[in-house]
Every structure is written in C-alpha cells, then in structure tokens.
Amino acid sequence: MTIEAAVRRIAPALPAPLRVLLGGVWRGVGRVAFRRRLSRLDFRALSGAPRLSYGGALPREPGAVIHGGRVKLLHLDRRYPEQAERFNLLYLVSSAMPAYAADLIRAAKRGGARLVWNQNGVAYPAWAGPVYERTNAPMRECYGLADFVVFQSDFCRRSALRWLGPCAASFEIIHNCVDTDVFRPASGVATDGPCRLLLAGTHQAAYRVTSAVACLAALARRGFPARLTVAGKCDWPGGMEEAVRVARELGVADRVFFAPPFRQSEAPSLYQAHHILVHTKYNDPCPTVPIEAMACGLPVVASQSGGLPELLGEDGGVLLPVPVDDYERDHAPRAEDMAQAVMDLWPSLSKRGEAARTRAVKRFSATDWLVRHEALFAWLLAEGTRS
C-alpha cells in the first residue's frame, strides 16, 4: 500500500480537527515532492518522436479502477507509454487533472514541451452548486495555457466558451473512442426472457439512479418483463440507501441488482450480459459508457442533451426530449418516456443493436482516434521546431 493510499484509508476515521491538520501536512509534503519532481524534468531531447507525459494522472496500482476522463489515457499510454521526466508533449484531461497542474504546465512549457488540453465538461450550478468556480478557475488557467485543445464534443466546446471563455489555441472536436475489437457483441444474446437493462458509471446524483428505477417501475405497470442492473457507485450522500428505498417504494426491489464499480477489463462482459443501456445523466458532455455499450451491440436510451445527440445520432438508440442546455437544473427523461422507448426497441432489438455497433465502429474506433492524435502530435512538434 502506498503512503497516499494509507493516508486516504485512515483519514475518515480521525476527528475533524485532526483530518484538517493531516490534510494541511499532506498538501505541504505533496508540494515539496512535486517541486523536486519539477527539478528533474529534462527537455534536452525534444525533437523526434512524440514522448508523452500524462501528468501522472493514470493510476499504476495493479487492479486500479480506471473510469471517466482517465479511460482515454489508457489508449494513448499503450501507444505512447508515459515518460515521467523526459517528454516533449504534455497531454492532460480536464476531468482528470493532476495535482498542481498549472505548475507542471508552466515548467514543461518553459522547457519547450507543448500542451495538449483535452477538454471535457465544465462545472456549473446544476451539479456543482454555487461553488462551481472552484472547479472552473484552475481548469480555466490550464485551458488558457494550451497549445492545442481537443474538445470531446461540440457541447464541450460550447460549455467551455460559456464558462471558461474563448479558446485562444487551435482546436479540434475529437469524440471519445472505444476499442471495438475488445468491446464487441456477445454471440447469441437470448431475448426470450426479461429485458435486461443496464445503468452504468459513477452515479453522482440521485436522479440518475432513481429515474432508471422509475423507468423499471413504469415497465412493470405495463406488464413488460424487465430487470435493471445498476453498475457503479451510488456516489451521493446516503446513495445506496436511497436507491434501495426508492426501488422498494416503487415495488421493484426484487428486479434491481446493484453491482460494484467495475474495471475496464470487466466492462465488455458487463455490457454483453444486457440488452439495452439506459443513460439518464443530463448534459453529459461526452460519456464513454454509451460508446462502449453501442460497440457491444446495445442500443441506448438517453436524454437529448449534452453530447448524447452527437454520439447516438439516429442509429445509436433513442433520444428523449428534455430542456436544452439548462445549466441551472438537471432534467431526467420522464419514466414513461423511457419505458416506451425500451418497449419500442425490444421487437427489433437485434437490428437496432447491429446499427448501434456499426455506428460505434465507423465513428468511435480507437484506431482512428489514435491516428488523428498521431497527426496532431506530429503537427505540434513541427510547429514547436519552427517557433
């Protein structure tokens, strides 16, 4: 166990004053260690092939659960193994920022390295409350230092323009990707039993789970046999207790299964064991879960918000109406609308699953994603040589 892991493990059991003291000491130790790391950075070999650093954002512990913004770094890391101290490109993801990111960026740029900033979503009142600027301020600082910005979707670009300001650097919209050789349909998924619905990810707000449970209850009222798996952490205060209580109150507790957070290696079999993904998050910027589900042949039921219209198009599943670009309040699709979408998909599930798979292969292939990044890196390094 690392020192950091040990600190995180014991901290919750300490009295509040001791937690505050420990946090201050830990931040001080961390900054000293970080400054020592900056002093070791070596930029004498900046020409030639791309040498990438991800700012240490990828956990290296065996069996680490990697999700969210870090997933895309796995693809890059396989092609460009991280160079912790000698690199010419710094590739950072806004939703997986390393500690002291701005300090790292400035040190790297002083040495001649170039920054690619991968911009996911931003903070806004609906999910961050009145303190949204605590997230946006450090993000804005890094965003403003970028040599190139990759927006994960056009929704990400619009949101950044509104909450972070104009993008001074060159940019491109590159949606997230999936390894379509690993994420692929199971052979012969049976449809003679109940419809198996999946809600997957880290669920940071109650509505994301309770709306899916309400959809299941609506299907039960219509006599449509279905089961729901909630995979991932119910990550809000009292989350699991509330989710179980709602399922019980709606009379579907025996039809809901709560699965723990899953590793990337476990994800394909999780999707393959289900028929339809319900993705209830509002204004999701560019989620990887629907892309992975489509690659596994699962059509997606989601709200027509955030980056979902760009990802699903007409072939990826069903988009349900909700208010557009509301940053003050989250909106889940109506339970009855989700239930109807599930029932409409069911008779042609095989055909709709094939269409979803085809879209994922054509538009979100990890191979194509890496090719686009290789061209970007070559251009950036050539520009750096000329400047």
Which residue ranges make up each domain of the chain? Answer: 41-177+366-386, 195-363
Closest alpha carbon to 256 in 344, 196, 172, 341: 196
Q: What is the largest CA-CA distance in the chain?
A: 68
Domain 195-363 fold is Rossmann fold (3.40.50)
The per-residue pLDDT for 327 is: 97
The per-residue pLDDT for 72 is: 87
Predicted TM-score of the model (pTM): 0.88
Exposed/middle/buried for 323, CB within 10 Å: 0-12, 13-18, 19+? Answer: middle
| Residues in the chain with pLDDT values less than 50 | 1, 7, 26, 29
Contact 279, 289 (CB under 8 A): yes
Contact 346, 196 (CB under 8 A): no
pLDDT per position as a tens digit, 118-154? 999 999 999 899 999 999 999 999 999 999 999 999 9
The per-residue pLDDT for 134 is: 95
Tokens of 230: 């909630």
User: CA 12, 97, 122, 287 torsion: positive or negative?
Assistant: negative
**Hey, do 41-177+366-386 and 195-363 end up sharing a CATH topology, with the first three levels equal?**
yes
| CA dist 206 → 5, 262, 328 (Å) | 28, 20, 16
Closest alpha carbon to 296 in 215, 179, 135, 169: 179
Rounded Cα distance between 57 and 117, Å, is 13
Contact 312, 319 (CB under 8 A): yes
Question: In the chain, pLDDT over 90 holds for what percent of residues?
Answer: 75
Using DSSP's 3-state secondary structure scheme, residue 186 falls into coil
Rounded Cα distance between 243 and 249, Å, is 10
Has domain 41-177+366-386 been given CATH number 3.40.50?
Answer: yes
**CB-based burial, 69-106: b 16+ in 10 Å, e otherwise:** bbbbbebbbeebebbeebbbbbbbbbbbbbebbeebbe
Tokens of 20: 């505050």
For strands 170-173 and 195-200, give the pairing: unpaired
CA neighbours within 13 Å on the CB side: how many for 18? 7
Helices (H), 201-348: 206-221, 239-249, 267-272, 288-295, 308-312, 335-345
